Amino acid sequence: MSEDVDKARLDRRELLGLGAGAVLAAGLTGGLADAASAEARRPRSRKPARGPVPRFADRQVDKLVVETVHGPVKGADIPFAMGHEHVFGDLHRVGKVGQPWDPAYMDVDWADVTAKGVETVRAVRDQGVGLWVDWTPWGVGRSVQMTRDVARQTGMKMVVPTGIYKDFAPPEFTGMTINEMAERFYRELMYGCDGLPVRAGFIKIAITDEKGPNKAETRIHRAAARAARRAGATIAAHAPFVDATMRLVRILEHEGFDLQRFVWGHPRAAVDAHIKLAKKGATIAYDEISINPGFWGEDTSDEAIIDRIQRLVDAGLGDRVMATTDDCVVMVPQNYERDCTHLHRTFAPKLRARLGEQTANMILRDNVIWAFRRGSHVR
Ligand SMILES: [Zn+2]
């Protein structure tokens, strides 16, 4: 199916519901965009089928299931959980979608990567962490086989994502329609990845620019929303810009995606925006712990992060926030300075001292299990 056919199949009211900016971002121009601009104030035609946001007491986290590289695991069998980490990342990608990739991509000594991954994952396992949610999707070095090997050697329960980072779509995605991409994501959530009986636990997406998702990213995001909606699965986004994240959210919601399945990764220190999305059910991932200043030059000291968490807790949204480091044990071509062992060695005692044992445990465990619970249509 060609892209034109794919566009033509969109219901016109759906396009109008997007609003003019998003329509343009989606690469749709001419008469349709003009019409959308004129009618942008019309009510959306396709709202997510959203129930009330369940609160902490109703979530029954112990009974939830997380899909790991070694199959489904019950919440009751998970001690602490880290919601955004990486064993391996590869940023060798060159050029735009459809252009050739650097032949160095994922050409590494996998025995060495595995050994380093085992050493670090074992260290956090020894600190009481039982679940490692890995955020390396297609295009930035996902190796399901290596992750499963690390999980097997350490006893850590590990989750891998499907999805695409920014617009780093793998070469075989060239020319795919949105629905074809959605089908690829969906099949990884339902059946398995890379020819293995290992299902992805969620969909990872990302945005590059503070202006909002670019055209290629928008197509990926729409595909992610369609797949997530069909599987009832979680979408986690690398989204460091507030306005751009709101645009992303509008695209996802327009596709019928419910924010109760959304994890906002790399949120800048704009807590009002975090509260706004948390009220709609999103989970906020404070994932720059262990470095200071953070990637964007902000104060990411333990105390500053705990201040942000406390604001969410004070707003009654303590069940919508997680603390994690976004460490990457091995990153090529350049290394990446984070320390996932900092979370339980240094950060967690400070979190407990400020917010108490019960709230700290909710943030360091329950909220992660909740956010990454298996897709509601995955059996
Ligand atoms: Zn990350």
Residue 38's pLDDT is: 33
Retrieve residue 9's tokens.
């199949």
For residue 290, the CA-to-ligand 1 centroid distance in Å is 14
| Average of per-residue pLDDT across 343-348 | 98
Q: Look at residue 206 and tell me whether its pLDDT is greater than 90.
A: yes
Is the pLDDT at 6 greater than 80? The verdict is no
d(CA 293, CA 261): 29
100 Cα to the center of ligand 1, angstroms: 24
pLDDT of 180 reads 97
pLDDT tens, residue by residue, 115-149: 999 999 999 999 999 999 999 999 899 999 999 99
- Check whether 33 has a pLDDT greater than 60: no
The candidate with the shortest Cα–Cα distance to 320, out of 378, 262, 252, is: 262
176 has a pLDDT exceeding 60 = yes
- Token look-up 């925006």 returns 273
Asked whether residue 338 carries a pLDDT value surpassing 90, the answer given is yes
Q: How far is the CA of 5 from the centre of ligand 1 (A)?
A: 35
- C-alpha 135 to ligand 1 mean position (Å): 6
CA of 308 relative to ligand 1 center, distance in Å: 20
Question: Which residue, among 105, 181, 192, has the nearest Cα to 140 in the 3D structure?
Answer: 105
CA of 86 to the centre of ligand 1 (A): 6
Q: Token match 């969620």: residue?
A: 202
Residues 60-88: tens digit of each pLDDT: 999 999 999 999 999 999 999 999 999 99
Residue labelled with tokens 């001690």 = 79
pLDDT of residue 304: 98
Of residues 10 and 149, more confidence is placed in 149
CA 327/CA 341 separation, integer angstroms: 9
Residue with tokens 């509008």: 250
Q: How are the residues of the chain apportioned to helix, strand and coil, as percentages rounded to the nearest 5? A: 45, 15, 40
- Please report the pLDDT score of residue 225 as a whole number: 98
Q: Per residue in 313-322, pLDDT tens?
A: 999 999 999 9
Looking up tokens 């629905």 gives: 179
Dist CA 74 CA 68 (whole Å): 10
- At residue 19, the pLDDT reads 34
Instruction: Measure 238 CA to ligand 1 centroid, in angstroms.
Output: 7
Quote the ligand 1 centre to 236 CA distance (angstroms): 10
CB 167 within 8 A of CB 97: yes
CA of 16 to the centre of ligand 1 (A): 34
Amino acid found at 94: V
- Beta carbons of 338 and 327 less than 8 angstroms apart: yes
Predicted local confidence at residue 169, as pLDDT: 86
| Residue 334 pLDDT grade (very low, low, confident, very high; cuts 50, 70, 90) | confident
pLDDT for residue 51: 66
Give the residue with greater pLDDT, 52 vs 46. 52
Closest by CA position to 27, among listed 44, 47, 10: 10
Domains of the chain: 1-46 (no CATH), 61-371 (3.20.20.140)
Distance from residue 84's CA to the centre of ligand 1 (Å) = 6
At 92 the pLDDT is 86
pLDDT for 47 equals 61
Centre of ligand 1 to C-alpha 248, Å, is 18
From the CA of 1, how far away is ligand 1's center (Å)? 33
More confident residue, 40 or 253: 253
Task: With CA atoms as reference, report the closest residue to 89 among 287, 265, 331, 329.
Answer: 331
pLDDT recorded at residue 96: 55
Least confident span in 38-52, 68-82, 154-168, 221-235: 38-52
pLDDT tens-digit readout, 155-166: 999 999 999 999
Average confidence score pLDDT of the chain: 87
* Tokens 């089928």 found at: 49
Model pLDDT, residue 32: 31
Task: State the average pLDDT over residues 38-44.
Answer: 37
For 80, the 3-state DSSP assignment is strand
User: Does the pLDDT at position 345 exceed 70?
Assistant: yes
* Cβ(265)–Cβ(288) below 8 Å: no
Q: Residue 35: is its pLDDT beyond 60?
A: no
Portion of the chain with pLDDT greater than 70, in percent: 83
- Ligand 1 centre from 136 Cα, in Å? 7
* Helix (H) or strand (E) segment spanning residue 225: helix 215-231
Ligand 1: distance of its center to the CA of 240 in Å? 11
CA–CA separation, 57 and 1 (whole Å): 47
pLDDT > 60? residue 230: yes
Tell me the residues surrounding ligand 1 (ion) with CB < 5 Å: 135, 326
Q: Which amino acid, residue 358?
A: Q
Distance from residue 289's CA to the centre of ligand 1 (Å): 12
Exposed, middle or buried, 52 (CB in 10 Å: 0-12/13-18/19+)?
Answer: exposed
